[in-house]
Structure 1
Amino acid sequence: MTLPPTRWELAGEDNRGYGRHFADSVARGVDVDGEARFLDAMAARASRILDIGSGMGRVAAALRARGHDVVATEPDAALREQSRATYPDLEVLPHEALALDPAEVGTFDLVAVVGNVMVYVGEDTERPVLERVRDLLAPDGRAAVGFHLTAIKAGSRTYPAEEFVADAEAAGLRVVHRFGSYELHEPSDEYAVWVLARA
């Protein structure tokens, strides 16, 4: 199956600042574990967690360090290379969300789609991506999705909260919680963190 190009791919070199930013933050000892703490709090010990769009590996590595069984997946070759250099013990699959087959990778207690992944998927693939997330969930599994609601990053899209909820519901998911940050701030118009479950 030929997948449409993601917005991340189309942005090309304009999005290389992401990897540089987090490499610098890790090198300076800055706390970059906000998403991982949120995800860890959602999960029972030794949960099976899928990190879709794992980037340079910081969230997946932090979850592994907390004792979870983590599968990381990142289609961007440069970010996979950065991940290998920063976290050499973390295996990263080269798949984007729509290339993940539940028959091959199994299902998960928690699926993480954080770090603006949803605003970089291919045009008109939001619902298929969310359907794939649904299919990758264990029966009682949950998904965590976080993104900027307006297009402030190179190549990203504006994704209003109402449209995301409609897409999630059409994909067979329901909203369990909505927060304004990974520190559980109240919902805002800038950033949204969603907890989803099968409908």
Structure 2
Amino acid sequence: MTLPPTRWELAGPDNRGYGEHFADRVARGIDVDGEARFVDALAPRGARVLDVGSGMGRVAAALHARGHDVVATEPDPALRAQSEATYPDLAVLPHQALGLDPDDLGSFDVVALVGNVMIYLGEGTEVAVLEQTRDLLAPDGRAVVGFHLTAVKAGSRTYPADDFIADVASAGLRVVHRFGSYELHEPNDEYAVWVLARG
């Protein structure tokens, strides 16, 4: 099956600075584990965690170091290569979000779509990805989704909170929590962190 191109793919070289930025921060010992701490707080010990759009691997590696069974997926070959160079013990699948098959992967205690994954999906695929997320969740599992609500990154879309909430409901999920950051700040109009569960 041919999947539609993602906004990330269509942005091309304009988004290459992302991986380099975080690799530099990791090399300098700067804390880049905010998303991982958030996911870890939600997850039972030794949880199965799926990191969708794992980028250069920082969140998946931090969760693995905390004792979780992590499956990382990243379709961008350059980011996969960077992940392998930075975190050689972290295996990364080459699938985009729509290419994840619950029959192959099984179910997860937490599915993470952090780092603006939702605003880089292929046009019109948001509900389908959320449905896929629902199908990947264990019965009591939760999804963590974080993104800028306005298109501040190259190639990304504006995704208003009300539109996202409607898409969540259409996909058979529900919003459990909404925060303004991974440090649990109150909701704002710039960035949103969502915890979702099966509807």
Asked if TM exceeds 0.5, the reply is: yes
- List aligned pairs for 1:101-120, cutoff 5 A: 101-120=101-120
**Segments of 4+ in structure 1 off by > 3 A?**
none
The Cα shift of 1:103 comes to: 0.4
Q: CA RMSD in A?
A: 0.3
The Cα shift of 1:50 comes to: 0.1
User: When the two structures are superposed, what TM-score results if normalisation uses the length of structure 2?
Assistant: 1.00
Partner of 1:156: 156
Partner of 2:30: 30
Partner of 1:70: 70
Give the secondary-structure state (helix, strand or coil) at the position aligned to 1:83.
Answer: helix
The Cα shift of 1:8 comes to: 0.1
Partner of 1:139: 139
Give the secondary-structure state (helix, strand or coil) at the position aligned to 1:138.
Answer: strand
1:26-65 per-residue CA deviation (whole Å, 9 max, x = no partner) reads 1111100000000000001000000000000000000000
The Cα shift of 1:78 comes to: 0.2
- List aligned pairs for 1:1-199, cutoff 5 A: 1-199=1-199
Aligned length: 199
Q: What amino acid is aligned across from residue 51 of structure 2 in structure 1?
A: D
Counting aligned pairs with the same residue, the percent is 79
1:89-138 per-residue CA deviation (whole Å, 9 max, x = no partner) reads 00000001110000001010000000000000000000000000000000
The Cα shift of 1:82 comes to: 0.1
The Cα shift of 1:168 comes to: 0.5
Give the secondary-structure state (helix, strand or coil) at the position aligned to 1:197.
Answer: strand
- Mapped to 2, the partners of 1:28 and 1:154 lie a distance apart of 25
The Cα shift of 1:88 comes to: 0.1
Q: What amino acid is aligned across from residue 90 of structure 2 in structure 1?
A: L
